[in-house]
Amino acid sequence: MPNILRIAIASPLRRLFDYLPPSEGSEGSESSKVPLQPGMRVRVPFGRREVIGLLWEVRSQTDVPVDKLKAVLAVLDAAPLLPDEIMALAKWVSDYYHYSIGEVLLSSLPVSLRKPGNALENAQKKLAKLPEGSNEILASPVTLNAHQEDTLKKIREKSKAASVFLLSGITGSGKTEVYLRVIADNLAQGKQALVLVPEISLTPQTIARFEQRFKVPIVALHSGLTNPARLRAWLQAAQNKAAIVIGTRSAVFTPMPTLGVVIVDEEHDGSFKQQSGLRYSARDLAVVRGQMANVPVILGTATPSLESLQNVTRKRYIPLSLPERAGDAVPPQVSMIDIRGQRLEEGLSNQLLGKMRTHLENEGQVLIFLNRRGYAPVLMCHMCGWAAECRRCDARLILHHAPKHLHCHHCDAQQAVPRHCPGCEQTDLSLLGVGTERLEEALQQHFPDIGIARIDRDTTQRKGAMEGLIDSIHAGENRILVGTQMLAKGHHFPQVTLAAILDADGGLLSADFRASERLGQLIVQVAGRAGRAERLGEVLIQTHHPEHPLLRELLAHGYEKYAGTLLAQRQASCLPPFAHLALLHAEGHQEKMPMDFLQEAKQAAVALKKSGVELLGPIVSPMARRAGRYRAQLLLQAPQRGALHQLLSSWAPHLETLKSARRVRWALDVDPIDTF
């Protein structure tokens, strides 16, 4: 029997596909002389198409009659593109998240390598022309405090083992300086470092800081790069020509032959969880990768996730603490503004406006946080109650002013703003609520001589826009900062002396069990932007619920005590991290389709007779219709992780065979961070 090539193909079918080597005299016959090794790309016929696949293994047996097998058309690589370590990581992802190995492997490659063409050859030629990088490590200008010294000592003691450290330090405590020292140790030993950040917006800032200390090749990997640029950066890392890789979640799959440390900054951030396609947690994968490579992993944050805190309790992670701000900086003073019964002007209370004037007169900068972009969240008719709603989603359209249009933030649909009410023909259309655009306009009226920088997805879409706004803030050109979560994540604004949260109540009233955790993290992160240098900082939180016990506990006792209270609540309710979840999503063109599929899926799960897993639902999703499709979900909950995965291992492949599965789109989300 000839050699059988087991090929991984980007297909939802959870299996490998058997092929024969390229036949003699075919287009791929010359490539058949290349020794075949796992991790090589091949071009194969697949149905009516030709696709790129990855060689998983060469074996001598097949369950398919040999005369039914097709031959590989071409072997595209002279050597494996993916090393054994990444192949093993992909296998772990496939098994844990229950996705096909082909989808995992192909999604780990740069887009250019998933398509036919000469992208690899062209990238190699450009890399060959790059000058040799230096390997200079500059001395740190910073003197470590006692807590930083102790933290660094503990990391160094276990630097040659697969230890996981949870570095919990208040905002401004000098976590980045600890990262830099650890990376310097690795570079001195000729090793590479992988640094994961939650947002693209943080990448330029992080790179700039690293380039000041390390005169070594540093590359960025994120979705904002062009495909050729991303491929070149990926190859530099894979060929050990890049000493430091800084990237967003997908960078966790980057081949790095001399990897010495993995750092996950802002480990609590939900952006590390992929929410579409292959749904994985880059933070959790970073831990797995560190274990596979036998290197330390550092998870850094001022507001640890409840899962990470519980892993410390279970002695899986080593706790490290930085309880003081670095240098002469001190934590800001935090207080609440009770806005019950107050007249608000575009969300701004008189007390907040007065505080802003004081800080601006004292040459400080002011940060205003509002997690709602656009101009106004509701356009409504005052006469008949009509409201502008998306035709494809169960959601209101958001009014934007620049340019003026109605925009759905869920499906990205856009409409013109009507001149009159479609329901009663009246022209008295009211704007309800405030977005960052409207807030910026109101602030311009109150502070006409002060520069304002608005940082949200609308103002940072263009290449270089984020960097330009950050530069204008550091230069003092813009002294009022308005923005969404993009503004609160890890930025260093030394001149900000006042930070304000306009509406803290959403997290207190949400039905999502994670909302309180996110609220506490958000308040602490926004507060951490104020008073980061030698000037005192102040934080104001506007709320209708100043007596809420969680808010009071957070402000009185800090995040650690707050998180402890939330953990106790989760344990009492048997919710993560004291239980384990998987969510089966389904959507279809007709309202009945997703529910029919989920009912059939539930019956299939019950028939497997696996104990220890509770099936909740199916129910219609909180947003029942999105992008023209009706949505529903089935939740699986288990006290033990093993019981859940034992069921999923048998159940997930069976779902493909259900008749109703052909009429819907469905996806399995293991460890979901959003059950809505």
CATH for 647: 3.30.70.600
Decide which of 513 and 330 is more confident: 513
* pLDDT over 70 at 328, yes or no: no
d(CA 374, CA 484): 11
Looking at the fold, whether 365 and 511 belong to one and the same domain comes out as: yes
Average pLDDT over residues 229-244: 94
d(CA 359, CA 365): 7
What distance, in Å, lies between the first and last C-alpha atoms of the chain?
A: 52
Q: Is 321 helix (H, G, I), strand (E, B) or coil?
A: strand
Q: What are phi and psi of 74, to 5 degrees?
A: -165, 145
Average pLDDT over residues 232-247: 95
* pLDDT over 90 at 642, yes or no: yes
Comparing CA positions, the residue from 542, 526, 543, 548 lying closest to residue 355 is: 542
Looking at the fold, whether 220 and 165 belong to one and the same domain comes out as: yes
Q: What is the CATH number of the domain that holds 545?
A: 3.40.50.300
Looking at the fold, whether 472 and 493 belong to one and the same domain comes out as: yes
pLDDT of amino acid 161:
82
pLDDT of amino acid 121:
86
Q: Classify residue 319 by its DSSP letter.
A: E
Q: Where are the alpha helices (DSSP H) in 387-510?
A: 436-446, 465-474, 485-488, 506-509
Q: What is the pLDDT of residues 397-421, one digit of tens each?
A: 999 988 899 999 999 999 999 989 9
Residue numbers of the domain that contains 142:
136-322
Q: Please, which pLDDT band fits residue 569 given cuts at 50, 70 and 90?
A: very high
Structure tokens of 97? 């998240």
d(CA 346, CA 246): 39
Looking at the fold, whether 79 and 104 belong to one and the same domain comes out as: yes
Tally the domains of the chain.
4
Q: Please, which pLDDT band fits residue 428 given cuts at 50, 70 and 90?
A: confident
Domain contains 676: no
Q: Please, which pLDDT band fits residue 27 given cuts at 50, 70 and 90?
A: low
Domain contains 480: yes
Average pLDDT over residues 154-167: 91
Average pLDDT over residues 264-280: 93
pLDDT of amino acid 26:
55
Looking at the fold, whether 104 and 201 belong to one and the same domain comes out as: no
The domain boundary residue, chosen from 109, 125, 147: 109
Q: Is 251 helix (H, G, I), strand (E, B) or coil?
A: helix
Q: Please, which pLDDT band fits residue 327 given cuts at 50, 70 and 90?
A: low
Domain contains 302: yes
Average pLDDT over residues 141-151: 91
Looking at the fold, whether 96 and 208 belong to one and the same domain comes out as: no
Domain contains 614: yes
Looking at the fold, whether 456 and 315 belong to one and the same domain comes out as: no
pLDDT of amino acid 101:
95
Q: What is the pLDDT of residues 182-223, one digit of tens each?
A: 999 999 999 999 999 998 877 888 888 898 899 999 999 998
Decide which of 473 and 2 is more confident: 473
The domain boundary residue, chosen from 109, 127, 148: 109
Looking at the fold, whether 458 and 565 belong to one and the same domain comes out as: yes
d(CA 442, CA 359): 18
Domain contains 398: no
Looking at the fold, whether 89 and 232 belong to one and the same domain comes out as: no
Structure tokens of 627? 């992008």
pLDDT of amino acid 464:
79
Q: What is the CATH number of the domain that holds 25?
A: 3.40.1440.60
Structure tokens of 38? 């796992």
Looking at the fold, whether 534 and 586 belong to one and the same domain comes out as: no
Average pLDDT over residues 98-102: 94
Q: Please, which pLDDT band fits residue 138 given cuts at 50, 70 and 90?
A: confident
Mean pLDDT across the chain, nearest whole number?
Answer: 91
pLDDT of amino acid 467:
83
Alpha carbon 27 to its chain centroid, in Å, reads 42
d(CA 63, CA 65): 7
Q: What is the pLDDT of residues 344-363, one digit of tens each?
A: 999 999 999 999 999 999 99
Domain contains 666: yes
d(CA 265, CA 169): 11
Domain contains 498: yes
d(CA 432, CA 599): 40
* pLDDT over 90 at 23, yes or no: no
d(CA 36, CA 55): 8
* pLDDT over 80 at 34, yes or no: no
Looking at the fold, whether 199 and 68 belong to one and the same domain comes out as: no
d(CA 366, CA 353): 11
pLDDT of amino acid 35:
84
* Pairing between β-strand 333-338 and β-strand 538-543 as defined by DSSP bridges: parallel
* pLDDT over 80 at 326, yes or no: no
* pLDDT over 90 at 130, yes or no: no
The domain boundary residue, chosen from 569, 603, 635: 569
Q: What percent of the chain has pLDDT over 70?
A: 97
* pLDDT over 80 at 489, yes or no: no
Q: Classify residue 547 by its DSSP letter.
A: T
Average pLDDT over residues 269-298: 95
* pLDDT over 80 at 16, yes or no: yes
Domain contains 657: yes
Looking at the fold, whether 344 and 300 belong to one and the same domain comes out as: no
- The backbone region for 363, taken as left when phi is positive above 0, alpha when psi lies in -120 to 50, beta otherwise, is left
